[in-house]
Chain A
């Protein structure tokens, strides 16, 4: 059966809010795998770290597979150490999101996250040979290439995962743009990102909503929704669909995608219901169709 997964929380929510979020996911969300860990900013990591064992234990007890996601960008000593430690533990599977993690994980089973540039079948073969068991594809990879990746993955015995909901990760930087917006720099940021649970809105000078800032990360303003493409992805052999957490009702989002994957509801109804789950942003699926990513392409029942 096709699996739903819950990607790592990309935003800086208060630790208690994160803990309660995961407790609810453990109890109520029909997802098979939950990715934990701070992916965006190493400075945020200490806040949730004390809760991590408890949350991982609770999710595992609820029957979820728990995977630790590494930072997406490791540069300074603290970040490199965080990655080395996560990759060094054997209690939970690890998802590499930076090449430094790939370095540590060579030769043992691991996952590869969407921040690693796995764009083609040759790269997939190299990753599999080094121990990758599951690869989440980059957000911008078009559907035609997803199909090739899924076919190659079957041959290699690797699982393929695709993000189907939530803001799309678009860029990473060494500079913190949240701090910059507040006239600060990363070192004295005072965690201003905590005030934007779904990212800080960036609007064009003529008032068009454009991007969302999340510390060093830039995301789309629009919300990815591949409800209409889910059946095609399933036929390609994509085995897992990732939901990227937002502050809205993620249990509801998971239930809608579960019902869609199970054929209980159609993509039209799924999309209508998703529109009521919280994130105030239009849906988009352009990347899948090799169009501008912000676009919503209609009439997508292909394959």
Chain B
């Protein structure tokens, strides 16, 4: 059995060190600008911070991957080219790209640089993936969270590149890289600005009875009764009214987290090379606990034991977990 790589989120230098110390095989991070899909305020790396972060990871045998995985709008590509050049210069072990233009730039300007295809590229099929591997020499694809294990296995046989898949964290169902919902409400784009429900447009309004109204821009995403669980203030996790429903319902998805702990051995058998943990926006407490738990789980399966993941429910959105698409396609 091939030993899968554990790829862990690093939103800040402290999180990067926490992830590496907790046993990450690789960390992924981004610059403090629109060039990555987690361009959240207060998060991410300056140039010197990334340089130090990469050195820290390398000194401990871990890889550092740089996400340059948003889509530059025409006329503004210079920032993305700079991010690619900086990532190469600082020695990132791979650049995670999504945009065809960015991929082309990286592949032609830095032919030796290893490239991964971001989940943001929206490539869930053999043909879509092969478009990127054949045109830009992509070495690994990060799969969207919508495939069953047999589907992943079938892909692996045909695409000729490594597969990385999400095993834990935020569980969104909108096709990545193809969602303009945030831009529709806030004027900032997930694809072009790297933001999803930007905090500047989020308002939490709690009344005297501790009922919580969550607003994004001018639209109400949800009203949570006192004692109810909150989730991220994203449009796709909100509750709405529809003609055939008596009450507000989760029209897209309820607040829930992905957890594929029990499927780890099957994923390895299906040909998955790397397991990805979501959560660059999370705290170092999350990174430390979650990475340590998955480190133990991966080590367990490599030694033929049960994954036996520690209880991570407390960290999950809505305190609910799902195996998502991986186990069945009944959710579609």
A and B touch in the complex (CB under 8 A): yes
Q: Which residues of A contact B (CB under 8 A)?
A: 73-76, 79-80, 83-84, 98-104, 106, 115, 117-127, 130, 138-142, 144-149, 152, 168-177, 180-182, 185-187, 200-208, 210-211, 213, 218, 220, 286-287, 290-295
Which parts of B164-205 form the interface with A (CB within 8 Å)? Answer: 173-175, 177-181, 183-187, 189, 191-192
| With A102-B131, A176-B332, A293-B183 as contacts: A204 and B178 at CB distance below 8 Å | no
Pairwise interchain contact B252-A200, C-beta atoms closer than 8 A: no
> What secondary structure prevails in chain B residues at the interface with A?
loop
Q: Which residues of A contact B47 (CB under 8 A)?
A: none
Pairwise interchain contact A120-B126, C-beta atoms closer than 8 A: no
How far apart are B74's CB and chain A's nearest CB, in angstroms?
Answer: 4
Pairwise interchain contact A119-B71, C-beta atoms closer than 8 A: yes
Residue pairs across A and B with CB atoms within 8 Å: the count is 231
Pairwise interchain contact B332-A185, C-beta atoms closer than 8 A: yes
Q: Which of B18-26, B88-96, B100-108 contacts A (4 or more CB under 8 A)?
A: B100-108
Pairwise interchain contact B101-A208, C-beta atoms closer than 8 A: no
| With A122-B101, A177-B251 as contacts: A203 and B240 at CB distance below 8 Å | yes
**Could you give, for residues 65-86 of chain B, a 1 whenever the CB lies within 8 Å of some chain A CB and a 0 otherwise?**
0000001111111000000000
Q: Which of B55-63, B218-226, B278-286 contacts A (4 or more CB under 8 A)?
A: B218-226
Pairwise interchain contact B241-A139, C-beta atoms closer than 8 A: no
Q: Which residues of B contact A (CB under 8 A)?
A: 71-77, 98-102, 104-105, 121-128, 130-132, 135, 144, 146-147, 151, 173-175, 177-181, 183-187, 189, 191-192, 217-223, 236, 238-245, 248-249, 251-253, 325, 329-332
How far apart are B192's CB and chain A's nearest CB, in angstroms?
Answer: 7
| With A126-B101, A171-B180 as contacts: A119 and B191 at CB distance below 8 Å | yes
Q: Return 30 A-B CB contacts under 8 Å, by A number.
A: A75-B147, A83-B127, A99-B127, A102-B131, A118-B100, A123-B101, A126-B104, A139-B180, A140-B180, A148-B75, A173-B252, A174-B146, A175-B173, A175-B253, A175-B332, A177-B251, A177-B252, A180-B251, A181-B242, A185-B331, A187-B329, A187-B332, A203-B242, A205-B220, A205-B223, A205-B248, A206-B220, A218-B181, A292-B184, A292-B186
Pairwise interchain contact A122-B102, C-beta atoms closer than 8 A: yes
Interface centre among A84, A139, A202, A287 (most CB of B within 10 A): A202
